[in-house]
Amino acid sequence: MNISTKRTIWLHPEQTDCVQVLDQRVLPHQIQVVDLRTVAEVVAAIRNMTVRGAPLIGATAAFGVYFACKEAAQDDNPEAYFARSVQQLRESRPTAVNLFWALQQMEATLAPMLDFASKAPLALKTAISLVEADVEVCRGIGEQGLPILQAASKAKNGNTLNILTHCNAGRLGCIEWGTITAPIYMAFEQGMDLHVWVDETRPRNQGSSLTAWELSQAGIPHTVIVDNAGGHLMQHGMVDLVLVGADRVTRKGDTANKIGTYLKALAAHDNQTPFYVALPSTTIDWNIQDGLGEIPIEMRSPDEVRSIQGWDGTATRTVWLTPPNSPALNVGFDVTPARLITGFITERGVCAANESGLLSLFPEFQTV
C-alpha cells in the first residue's frame, strides 16, 4: 500500500487501527497530523473540516465505517450501533455526494458478512481500495483535462496560460493529484508556462490557505486574489480558463460547489472565458435533475463569517471582523446552472454540461 505523507490520509505507519490525516484547519502556517481512531473522531474531523473536499470526505468516512465495525463488535447491540454510526457519518456534511457514495459502497460490500468482527477487516480493505481508486480517478481527470490546457496554452502563442480557480479542488481535497490540479500538475511537469489565480475563498479561505500552499509546494506560479477580483481579471483578458471542482453535479449538469463559484461562472460567461468543472464521476448525483431546487446546501456557523483565522507570527489566532451585535449568514455552497459551464472533465473524458453529455461518458446511468 502506497499511502505516504504526500497524501492527505494514510494508515498510521506503526500503530494499527489508526488513520492519520493532515489537519487542514491550520495550513498553511502549521503542518499538523491528526490521528483518527473512532467513529466519533471521524465524524468530528469531517464536521469541523480537519478534512474537507468531496473526495477526501468520502475516503475519510470509509475509514469511519471500518471503526464502526470494530466498535459495533464490542457493543451489546452491534446492528443498532453500526446503523447509528453510519447515520452519524452520513449526517456529518450535507452537500457533497461523494460522502453518501462512499458510505453506500462500504455498506454494499459489508452487507453479506454477518458478524462485525469479520466485517471489520473487509471494511479496512474496502476503505483502502476506495482511497487507491480515488488516486487513479484523479490521475484520469488529469489525463483527460491535459489536452484542454495544451490547446489553451498553444493558443497563447508563447504567453503564459492563466487559469483561475476557486476554493481547493487540489490534492488536499482528494488523496493525491486533486481534480482541477491534476491536469495543472501534469501540464507543469511537461514544462507548460502557466500561472494560477487563486481565489481566497472566504469564509474558510481554502484558496489562500490550501490551494496556494499546495501550488507553492509544487513550485507552480500562482497569485492569491480576493474573491471579488476574478471578474475584473476576466474583463481585462487576464484569465484564459476557469477550472473549478464540484461537490455535487445533477443529471442535467447543475453544479454545487463552494459558495461564490456561481459568480465566477457568470463572469466567465460574460467574458467568453471557458469555464470547466473537473470532477470524479462519484460527484454526479444521477437521481436529481435541478440543482437549485434539489441539492441541499449546507448552512455553517455564522462565526466563520464573523471571524477569521490567521497567523500572528507565532501562533494561529482567530480575530473578529464584524461589530459584536451584527448577525451573519454562512452559506457553504452555491449552484452553478449547467448553462454557464463550458464542459465537465471526468476520469472518462470531457463532455458537455448536460444530461446527454454526461450519459455519453456514463451510459450505464441511462436509467437509474
Contact positions vs its own copies (CB under 8 A)? 28-29, 197-198, 200-203, 205, 208-209, 212-213, 215-216, 222-233, 235-236, 258-260, 262-264, 266-267, 270, 292, 297, 305-313, 317-323, 325-331, 333-335
What's the closest the beta carbon of residue 62 comes to its own copies, in angstroms? Answer: 30
Q: What 3-state class would DSSP assign to 141?
A: helix
146 contacts 189 by C-beta, under 8 angstroms:
no
What's the closest the beta carbon of residue 208 comes to its own copies, in angstroms? Answer: 5
Instruction: CB nearer to its own copies: give 3 or 196.
Output: 196
* Catalytic hit among 247, 254, 285, 334: 247
89 contacts 47 by C-beta, under 8 angstroms:
no
What's the closest the beta carbon of residue 274 comes to its own copies, in angstroms? Answer: 17
- Which residues sit opposite 299 in a β-bridge? 331
CB neighbour burial string for 268-298, b if at least 16 within 10 angstroms, e if fewer: bbebebbbbbbbbbbbbbbebeebeebbebe
Instruction: CB nearer to its own copies: give 219 or 363.
Output: 219
Alpha-carbon span 91 to 103, nearest angstrom: 11
Alpha-carbon span 138 to 319, nearest angstrom: 36
305 contacts 124 by C-beta, under 8 angstroms:
no
Instruction: CB nearer to its own copies: give 208 or 346.
Output: 208
- Which residues sit opposite 36 in a β-bridge? 19
Instruction: CB nearer to its own copies: give 79 or 290.
Output: 290
- Among residues 214, 211, 139, 150, the alpha carbon closest in space to that of 177 is found at 139
What's the closest the beta carbon of residue 165 comes to its own copies, in angstroms? Answer: 14
Instruction: CB nearer to its own copies: give 106 or 198.
Output: 198
197 contacts 163 by C-beta, under 8 angstroms:
yes
Cell of 252: 442535467
Instruction: CB nearer to its own copies: give 7 or 202.
Output: 202
- Which residues sit opposite 223 in a β-bridge? 197
Residue 182: which H helix or E strand, with range? helix 181-189
264 contacts 301 by C-beta, under 8 angstroms:
no
Cβ-Cβ contacts under 8 Å for 126 (sequence gap 6 or more): 62, 105, 106, 109, 110
Cβ-Cβ contacts under 8 Å for 138 (sequence gap 6 or more): 55, 171, 174, 175, 176, 177, 178, 179, 182, 280, 347
Cβ-Cβ contacts under 8 Å for 338 (sequence gap 6 or more): 250, 252, 253, 254, 255, 291, 353, 354
Instruction: CB nearer to its own copies: give 323 or 363.
Output: 323
Task: Based on the residue annotation, tell me whether 134 is a catalytic residue of this protein.
Answer: no
Alpha-carbon span 44 to 147, nearest angstrom: 39
What's the closest the beta carbon of residue 8 comes to its own copies, in angstroms? Answer: 17
What's the closest the beta carbon of residue 231 comes to its own copies, in angstroms? Answer: 4
What's the closest the beta carbon of residue 197 comes to its own copies, in angstroms? Answer: 8
> Which residues are marked as active site?
247
